[in-house]
Structure 1
Amino acid sequence: MTDYWAITGISSSNIKGVEGVGNKGAMALLQEHASLQAMFDIANSSDKRLLKVQQQQQEAILSKQLVSLKKDIQLGFNLKDLRYPKT
């Protein structure tokens, strides 16, 4: 899902993605190449959508970082402490 969002972007979060590749194009590329990294590794393609992704590689990588969830953040407390006590 993060590769898809990295390509299409998320307008409500102001994440641009790859300009010129829409939802259908992103789905087709991911079905063919399986991942964003695999798209970067392809050489000499005539697919215009793939070329756009490769030309905007840095933007796609940044977009992927922005849409990825961070799981290693230290909160300084336990989430169980925030639960509402049962009565």
Structure 2
Amino acid sequence: MDTPLFVDVLDFKVFSDDLNAISISSDRCRTINTISPNSYGLSLTDSTFKAALIKTDFLVLDGVYFAFASLMLKGRNIKKNQGPDVFYHFMDR
């Protein structure tokens, strides 16, 4: 399997690939979390929460505003894989 794509934005490595790139049959995927403007704001004042987001195996978007930040700051688009998309994808798999 190819190495999944990520985009670094605001100190976070955000997953930016097709959800099928996440292998669920190996130990490479133990946690999937979402990043949003709200969770980013919380991470600025809660170091434990920030560490959990940074250490997650796959951090996906939750809403469009964090992707907008990536476009504005890095010129990079992040593939839309929002929380509900991730949930239903893995329930089907």
- Fold match by TM threshold 0.5: no
**Greater CA radius of gyration, 1 or 2?**
1
Give the TM-score normalised by the residue count of structure 2: 0.29
